[in-house]
Chain A
Amino acid sequence: MLLNIKNLHVSINGKEIIKGLNLGVNKGEVHAIMGPNGTGKSTLAAAITGREGYEITQGEIWYKNKNIIGMPAEERANEGIFLSFQYPVEIPGVSMTNFMRTALNAQREYHELPAIPAGEFLKLMEEKKNLVEIHSKLNNRSVNEGFSGGEKKKNEIFQMAMLQPSLAILDETDSGLDIDALKVVAKGVTGLRSEENAFIVITHYQRLLDYIVPDFVHVLFDGKIVKSGGKNLALELEEKGYEWIKEQYHAGS
């Protein structure tokens, strides 16, 4: 199993957000995590990627047969965990080229590979830009600075394509996208799917899942996965909303 989360409890400032979550992801799978706002979807992404300020009070996160709790964020990233941010951060003054090259070379250094030659790097940039239909010159632009909402999300998928992660978490990548941009993003993701990697797609809406077809759909509610199913569960949620899940959950507890 690529990722195995066992009885995870996560608190922020002493308040428990994730309350005993279990999730197993194998290579080659796409898992969708759905659920209403404020149920812990982004907290789960933060816990997997090792963001500071998220206290893991109980449980284990096994990734590539290692419990990664306590592993620094950059090490997890270099081990192949990638997060497409819900709100990509603008970094004025740091050019996309510098940023990407630093990231790629950090990963290569981690795996004891030599730094990528400049020519090869630029070729790779061009190739991956085309994948997500970024037409503008990134070279002299600062990371996400002045990018439109759609460009920022495309830029996340572009970075994913550059870094070739084993486990990619897409946190609300569809939010704020028009249908054309959504298709581009979905096409980018689909193009990167392989038997060697896995995706966790966090979303409110079923819409994205028309384009990135999941193998499993999980409903996150009150810090736990309360229902799991196949891709049809997403359609059911789209049709019926989350109320029936809430009712079932409260009836059960």
Chain B
Amino acid sequence: MNGSKSSIMRVPDITNSPKVMENMKLLKEIPLGEMLIDRFQNQFDVITANDIPAVTAMRKEAMNHFISNGFPSSSDEKWRHTEIESLTEENFQYYLKPLDSEQDIEDLFKCEVHDFDTEIISLLNGWYVNKHAGLTTLPNGIVYGSLTNAMKLYPELFEQYYGNLADIQVNGFVSVNTAMVQDGVFIYIPDGVYAEKTIQIIKLIDKKEQLFVQNRNLIILGKNSSFSLMHCDDSINHFSSLINTVTEVYVGENAHFNLYKLQNLNNQSGLINSTFIHQEANSTTKSNTLTFNGGMIRNNINIDLQGENAHADVLGLYLMDKNQHVDNQIYIKHNAAHCTSNEKFKGILDDEASAVFNGYIYVARNAQKTNAYQNNNNILLTPKATINSMPFLEIYADDVKCSHGATIGQLDQEAMFYMRQRGISSSNARLLLMYAFTAEIINQISIEALRKRIDDMVKKRLRGELSVCEKCVLHCGSPDKEYHFEIDMSKI
């Protein structure tokens, strides 16, 4: 190790643990899982410092599970097409305290969507950032802010809700998140409250070293309430990071929840995003997962339809190129009668990009009159791009309607010639067709300002530019990336 501050420090810098300091050389070789177990054992007091007893107990149980099972690997059926070892065997730094950003925080959080008035929550390197307080209460009773602060103020809510949906047995990422997570976002929408403003979580990674970052979000929607959340994952430098986010959402009776996930990370980044949604009777959820960039992204979306007549729309769009990989695992559990679910994921894969779509629908014996629809459409632009699309239906009720479909294709050559015969260049014709392909998902975004903004990002992404707001000072992707599509969309 040299003493230069500007060098990339790949070695965990655990200065407050002399024992670890002595073993620094050994640590160099230690993969992520072992490092985390070691930290849990050595810094248990730090990890549990802000806990209520129930959460501490949960941590211990989760860590025991992690010690026995570790991270998933390619030999696990559910991870067969996503090679996660290349990340989990890396050396990462994991901090148990917030870091000072190397940039001015006020400057960082300017990534506002034009005309789209939101309450912005910022997480920097996994930590809640707020100019004033850790927790904000709006006049209508909505509470949002740091998870850690909320745990102190509302222990009864945590005892009731926290950790009930995110099953630690799902995989090692969920268990290690439960065991060691330090912060995240808490949102509470009281009964009957219609949240006019969308809350936008902007998650930034900015550290000039390899970071492992964990977040935990708990969102509770009371009866007859309505709420939209936008969740953005951005990186602002070129260093690799691995983000492990677990989000639990309770959607109360007759409540309406909209979730937009926007993923725009650099090609060195890994993101494991596990979302667990519980829906009561007559509730609706609309989830839209938009993946524009990222090295390795895994989205686990688990939805439990627990009350009758609940409805879930689970939509997604992924636009990947180079060696990018995205894996969408959707698990929808119909546990009550008369529920409907609608899954639609569309993707365009260029270069050597790869994607996985795994749509699992479970219908319990009593979930009669279930109506579940699932569809995955893909366009592969090159022979080296790959998609693994797998539907699963597990049905125990006898009066249900379930359907699934998957398509993999190239751009329509007839349509290409038709457009070229009208004078449109092949690159523009390609772009128009790709854009048209994405429209079905984009048009489902019900907030108009957001739809326009996303629409613009898709155009830019297809054109090969960075998908960032013009106003934004962040340069989340890699500015030196190659341009694949060279047309000016403004002419269209």
Contacts and interface: CB of A to CB of B under 8 A. Distances in A.
Contacts of A105: 491
B419 A91 contact: yes
Interface stretch (B43-51, B121-129, B238-246, B432-440): B432-440
Nearest to B427: A74
A73 B420 CA distance: 6
Contact of B433 (A51, A94, A115, A163): A94
B105 interface: no
A90 B433 CA distance: 11
A21 B432 CA distance: 36
A92 B426 contact: no
B422 interface: yes
B436 A91 contact: yes
Contacts of B428: 102, 106
A159 interface: yes
B390 to A, nearest CB: 26
A77 B491 contact: no
A83 B421 contact: yes
B138 interface: no
Interface string A100-125: 01110111001000010000000000
Contacts of B433: 91, 94
A159 B420 CA distance: 13
A85 interface: yes
Given A51-B417, A52-B417, A93-B440, A101 B422 contact: no
Interface in B390-432: 412, 414-415, 417-426, 428, 432
Nearest to B439: A93
A77 B420 contact: yes
Contacts of A72: 420, 426
Given A89-B415, A115-B491, A106 B432 contact: no
Contacts of A249: none
B436 A93 contact: yes
Contact of B435 (A74, A82, A93): A93
B492 A101 contact: yes
Name the interface size band of chain B.
Answer: 20 to 34
Given A94-B432, A98-B432, A99-B419, A106 B424 contact: yes
A103 B491 CA distance: 10
A94 B422 CA distance: 14
A94 B436 contact: yes
A110 B437 contact: no
A78 interface: yes
Interface string A50-94: 011000000000000000000011100110001101001111111
A220 to B, nearest CB: 21
A209 B428 CA distance: 37
B437 A163 contact: no
A111 to B, nearest CB: 10
A77 B421 contact: yes
A177 to B, nearest CB: 20
A85 to B, nearest CB: 7
A206 B384 CA distance: 51
Most chain B CB neighbours (cut-off 10 Å) among A49, A51, A94, A101: A94
B332 to A, nearest CB: 27
A101 B419 CA distance: 12
Given A101-B492, A102-B428, A92 B420 contact: no
B488 to A, nearest CB: 10
Interface in B166-190: none
Nearest to A74: B420
A82 B414 CA distance: 16
Interface in A104-151: 105-107, 110, 115, 142-143
Interface in B249-265: none
Contacts of A78: 423
A97 B414 CA distance: 20
B425 A74 contact: yes
Interface in B77-125: none
Contact of A159 (B415, B422, B435, B440): B422
B436 A92 contact: yes
A110 B423 contact: yes
A73 B417 contact: yes
B437 to A, nearest CB: 7
Given A101-B492, A102-B491, A73 B432 contact: no
User: 9 closest Cβ contacts across the A-B interface?
Assistant: A93-B436, A103-B422, A77-B423, A89-B418, A73-B420, A106-B423, A74-B420, A93-B439, A78-B423
Given A74-B425, A102-B491, A106-B423, 4 more contacts: A83-B421, A98-B432, A99-B424, A105-B491
